[in-house]
Amino acid sequence: MTLYSPRTRRRRLGVATAAVGLLAALFAAGPVSATPDPGDKSSAPKSVSKSTEAEVEKAISAGDIPGQDEIVHSDNIQHVTNIPKEALPGTNSDLAFQGKYAFAGNYDGFRVFDISNPKAPKTVAQVLCPGSQNDISVSGNLLFLSTDSSRSDDSCASTTQPATEKSSWEGMKVFDISDKANPKYVSAVETACGSHTHTLVPEKKNVYVYVSSYSPSATFPDCKPPHDGISVIKVPRKAPQKAAVVNFPVLFPGEGADGGGNPGAPTNPGVSKTTGCHDITVLPSKDLAAGACMGDGILFSIADPENPKVIDQVQDNVNFAFWHSATFNQKANKVVFTDELGGGGAATCNEAIGPDRGADGIYDITGKGDKRKLVFKSYFKIPRHQADTENCVAHNGSLIPVKGKDLMVQAWYQGGVSVWDFTNSAKPKEIGYFERGPLTTDAMTTGGSWSAYYYNGYIYSNDIAKGFDVLKVNDARTDPAKKIRLGELNVQTQPDYFG
pLDDT tens digits, 104-142: 999 999 999 999 999 999 999 999 999 999 999 999 999
Contact 464, 41 (CB under 8 A): no
Our CA dihedral for 184, 88, 292, 360, rounded to 10 degrees, sits at 140
Q: What is the pLDDT of residue 411?
A: 98
Position 38 confidence tier, pLDDT thresholds 50, 70, 90: low
| Portion of the chain with pLDDT greater than 70, in percent | 91
DSSP assigned state of 266: T
Mean pLDDT computed over every residue of the chain:
91
Residue 258 confidence (pLDDT) = 67
Which of the four pLDDT bands, split at 50, 70 and 90, describes residue 1? very low
**CB distance 151 to 112 below 8 Å:** no
Strand ordering across the sheet containing 309-314: 279-283, 288-293, 296-301, 309-314
Cβ–Cβ contacts within 10 Å for residue 382, how many? 24
- Checking if the pLDDT of 256 tops 80, the result is no
| pLDDT for res 22 | 32
CA of residue 399 relative to chain centroid, distance? 14
- Given a contact cutoff of 8 angstroms between Cβ atoms, the answer to whether 454 and 406 are in contact is no
CB 67 within 8 A of CB 58: no
Question: How big is the chain, counted in residues?
Answer: 499
**pLDDT of amino acid 10:** 38
Residue 42 is predicted with a pLDDT of 52
Ramachandran category for residue 441: left, alpha or beta (phi over 0 → left; psi -120 to 50 → alpha): alpha
Q: What is each CA distance from 204 to 207, 239, 491, in whole angstroms?
A: 8, 13, 19
Q: Please state which of the ranges 25-29, 217-221, 393-397, 495-499 shows the lowest mean pLDDT.
A: 25-29
Would you state the pLDDT for residue 43?
67
Identify the pLDDT of residue 78: 98
Structural contact between residues 28 and 64, judged by C-beta atoms closer than 8 angstroms: no
Tell me the average pLDDT across 317-332. 98
Please tell me the predicted confidence (pLDDT) of residue 44: 74
Q: How much is the pLDDT for 438?
A: 97
Model confidence at 45, pLDDT cuts 50, 70, 90, reads: confident
pLDDT band at 259 (very low <50, low <70, confident <90, very high): confident
Q: pTM here?
A: 0.93
pLDDT band (50, 70, 90) for residue 37: low
Phi and psi at residue 300, in whole multiples of 5°? -145, 160
Q: What is the average pLDDT across 360-378?
A: 98
Q: Helices then strands (H, E): number in the chain?
A: 2, 32
State residue 401's pLDDT score.
Answer: 98
pLDDT in tens, 184-194: 999 999 999 99
User: Quick one: pLDDT band at residue 441, thresholds 50, 70, 90?
Assistant: very high
Residues 6+ apart with CB under 8 A from 204: none
* More reliable by pLDDT, 259 or 241: 241
CB 113 within 8 Å of CB 98: no
- Across residues 167-173, what is the average pLDDT? 98
Question: Across residues 11-16, what is the average pLDDT?
Answer: 37
Q: What average pLDDT score do residues 20-38 get?
A: 39
Share of the chain above pLDDT 90, in %: 87
Does position 20 have pLDDT exceeding 80, yes or no? no
Q: Residue 12's pLDDT is what?
A: 36
Residue 400 half-sphere exposure toward CB, CA atoms < 13 A: 29
